[in-house]
Amino acid sequence: MGRNGRSASGSVAWPHCLAILTSGTTILLIMAGGLVTSLGAGLAVPDWPTTFGYNMFLYPWDKMIGGIIYEHSHRLLGSLVGFLTILTAGVICWKEPRKWISWLAGGAIGLVILQGILGGLRVVWLKLTLAIVHACVAQLFLGLMVSLSVFTSRSWINAGAPAEKEKGQRLQRLSLITLGLIYFQTIFGAILRHTGNRLDAHLLFAVLVTVHVLILAAKILQDHDQTKLIQRPAQSLWILLVTQIFLGIGSYLAKYTVLGDFVTPLTIALLTAAHVVTGALLFSASIIITLRLYQNRFVQRTAPLRGRIITKQAQAS
C-alpha cells in the first residue's frame, strides 16, 4: 500500500475499508436498537443527551443494570457509528478525486446527525412516531454506507462500461423494484414493532418481497454472463430470505400466539432483533446487486473522472 492509502493494485484502500467498517458497525447498532425495542427498554434512560444527569460517556458502569444497559449501550454504539461516519467522510474528502463521492459522504454525516437527534427527541418528547421514523432512517443510513463501500471498491473504480442489453435492462428494473419493496417492508416492520399495527401490510409486503427476491436471485444465478460481484450477493440474497422467513414465523408465533407463553421474553427479543438484522442484511445485499447492475451507466457518465482517478493512482504508486 502506498503512502496515500492506495494499494498498488489501484484501489482507494482507506475510504473503502472505513466505509465497510462503518457499515458493519451500523448493522450492530440496528441489532442493538432491535433489542432495545423488543425488551421495552427504549425509555429506560429518561433524559437526553445526558444519562440520568451524567455526561453520556461518563455514566458509571456499575449503574448500568436492567433496561439501562441496553438503552445506554445503544447510545454509546450510536456515538461510535457517528464517529466512524465522520472519520470515513473525512478520509473520503481527503483521498477521493470523485467529488460526488465526497458529497455522498457529507450526506452520510448529515443523516447520522439527524438519526441521533431523532433518537434523542423520541426520549424527550415521548412520541412513538419518532421511534418509527428513527428506525426507517437507520435503514437509509445503512444503505448509504453500503453504497459508499461499493463506490470506493477497487472493482468499481477499475470497471469498464459493457454494452447494455435489453435483458440487462429488465434485470435492472427488477432489482430496483425489489429494493423498493424491501425498504417498504422495513417501514411496515417498524410500524408493527412499535405499535402492533399493520400486520396485514407487513405480511403482504413479505409475500411481494419473497416473490421478487426469488425471481431476481434465480435470474442472476442462471445468467452465466453475470460476474461474481453480482452472483455472490445474489446467493446471499436468497439465503437471507429463507432465514428471514423462518425468523419472521418464529417471531410471529412467539409474540402473537399462545406459544409465546412457553418462551422467555429474552428469547422473543432475540428472535425479533435477529429478524430486524436479517432484514437489514437483505436490504444491503439488494443495494449491492442494484448498484452492480447499474454500474455500466455510472461508469459511462463518469468516464472522464475515472481517467483522472487512474492517473492519480499511477502517480501515487
pLDDT tens digits for range 253-272: 988 888 888 888 889 999 99
Give the mean pLDDT of 173-196.
Answer: 95
**Chain centroid offset of residue 3 CA:** 31
CB 131 within 8 A of CB 43: no
**Max CA separation in the chain (angstroms):** 67
**pTM for the model:** 0.89
Range of the domain at 279: 13-316
Tell me the CA distances in angstroms from 311 to 11, 102, 208, one per residue in order. 12, 19, 46
Domains in the chain, number? 1
Residues 186-208: pLDDT tens digits? Answer: 999 999 999 989 999 999 999 99
What is the pLDDT at residue 8? Answer: 37
Which of the residue ranges 4-8, 136-140, 166-170, 226-230 would you say has the lowest mean pLDDT?
Answer: 4-8
* Nearest alpha-carbon partner for 8 in 145, 150, 151, 158: 158
What is the pLDDT at residue 5? Answer: 45
Distance CA 216, CA 281 (A): 16
Domain assignment present for 8: no
pLDDT at 231 over 70: yes
CB burial class (10 A; 0-12, 13-18, 19+) of residue 46?
A: exposed
Domain assignment present for 5: no
pLDDT at 60 over 50: yes
Residues 87-113: pLDDT tens digits? Answer: 999 999 998 888 999 999 999 999 999
**Chain centroid offset of residue 210 CA:** 19
Distance CA 265, CA 8 (A): 52
Give the mean pLDDT of 180-185.
Answer: 97
Domain assignment present for 144: yes
Domain assignment present for 3: no
Average pLDDT, the chain: 88
* Nearest alpha-carbon partner for 10 in 228, 162, 159, 229: 159
| One-letter amino acid for residue 248 of the chain | G
Domain assignment present for 142: yes
Domain assignment present for 2: no
